[in-house]
Each structure stands twice: as structure tokens, then as C-alpha cells.
Amino acid sequence: MQQGYIGCSDAMQVAYPLLFTVTMFLKIYPENPNPREIRKVVDCLQNGGIIIYPTDTIYGIGCDIFKPKAVERITEILGDSKKKSAMTFICHDLSNLSDYTKPIANNIFKVMKRTLPGPFTFILEANNNVPKIVQSNKKTVGIRVPDNNIIREIVRELGHPILSTSVKDDDEVVEYTTDPELIYEKYENLVDMVIDGGYGDNVPSTVVDCTSGEIEVVREGKGDMELLY
């Protein structure tokens, strides 16, 4: 398989080469993720690779937050630099939250503890540890702790969050592709690894803006809304 991007210029293919000659399609079982397979994914991320992976909602596309070229590759794949503002951090848990966010009000932290791991994204104020290339114009960061063993084990082994955004379908009616094999067919020339963790959901996470110190739902998706209040 030739390295590069479908429909992209030769210059872009040189600037953003794939790590592997053939994009890896890796089966990982969510009930008990194989440590060897998890290590393969982490090695890919540490080398600047882009992965597609399962969550507790829809499949995501992500990279190491400290790999600027990988972040730029994702922006090119999405085809819209403004999409950067829709990217979030996937975390293993909330233990290192203060590494990337400004101090959080107690009421907000209690809600996060009650709902995570789960299908919620919390928008918080970013601190100076968040690389500028992954910050939105508002200097905020979205925090996700999915209820999915595969991606949480990947992040735990990596040692810090990965940058993430949703894998969308070209069909506005379908919107989200749930079959990992179909995702692989579409992205095999764009990313370095696609993880098959079973069928995904087609409902995104609920997005909650907490930057005012209060709970404000900006997108209602999957998840029990009553848990937020």
C-alpha cells in the first residue's frame, strides 16, 4: 500500500507520511485488553502515529497531545482547522486533571466524579501545560474519561492524555460509522492504526461547559442528564 493521503497533494504526502506501509487493523477485546496489543498502540502514539479507537460512544481519532506533527495531520484529515476547537483530551481518570486545567470548583468536580467514566465531555479552562497547538481560541480543553477499557488502558500505559475528535461519516443522515471494518476501509490511507473493539455507538457524548463555574449542557448526547444536577 502506498503511503500518503487520498486526494492530497504530493507535498502533503511528504509532509505527513504514514508510519507504516500498511495501516494496522488491530483487534482488541474490551472485556480484557491484551497488554501486548495495548503496547503496540502506545508505541504507535509515541512515534507520532494517529489511531482510530473505540469509546463508550462513537469511534474516535486521536494522537499523543505532545506530538505537534500528529496534531497537524489530524487537522489535515478533518480538512478544517476550526475542528481543533472540537478536540478533547481522553484521560484514564481524574487523578491528573490539575496538570491540564485551572482549579475546578468543588461542585463541578463532584459532578465529574459522579458521571465519569461515562459518555460526558467537560469543557474546562486550560492551563499553561496544555500545548498551544491543541488549544481552542477560548483557551479551554475538553476532558473525556470514556467507560471503555481499551482506550483507558491505552492512555494509562501512555502516561498522559491523547488528543481526540470524533470519526464522522460523509453521509449526514448516518453521521457516524459504527462498523470498525468500514471505518478501516475509509481511513486506511489516512491513519496508522485502526482498533477493532467491536461495533461503536452512533450517539456522541454529552458536552458540558463548566467554564463559568456552573453546569451548562451545550450538546445533549448519550448519558443520563439527571446525573449532572
pLDDT tens digits along 14-36: 455 677 667 999 999 999 999 99
User: Which pLDDT tens digit goes with each residue over 68-100?
Assistant: 999 999 988 887 544 555 679 999 999 989 999
Distance CA 166, CA 173 (A): 16
Contact 55, 154 (CB under 8 A): no
Average pLDDT of every residue of the chain: 87
Query: Would the pLDDT of 8 be above 50?
Result: no
Closest CA to 100 of 122, 68, 69: 122
* Residue 183, pLDDT above cutoff 70: yes
- Whether 144 shows a pLDDT value over 80: the answer reads yes
Please count the helices (runs of H) and the strands (runs of E) in the chain.
Answer: 6, 10
pLDDT surpasses 90 at 176: no
- Residue-wise pLDDT for 154-175, tens only, equals 999 999 999 999 887 766 656 6
Domains, the chain, in order of start with CATH, read 10-228 (3.90.870.10)
User: Cell 461503536 appears where?
Assistant: 200
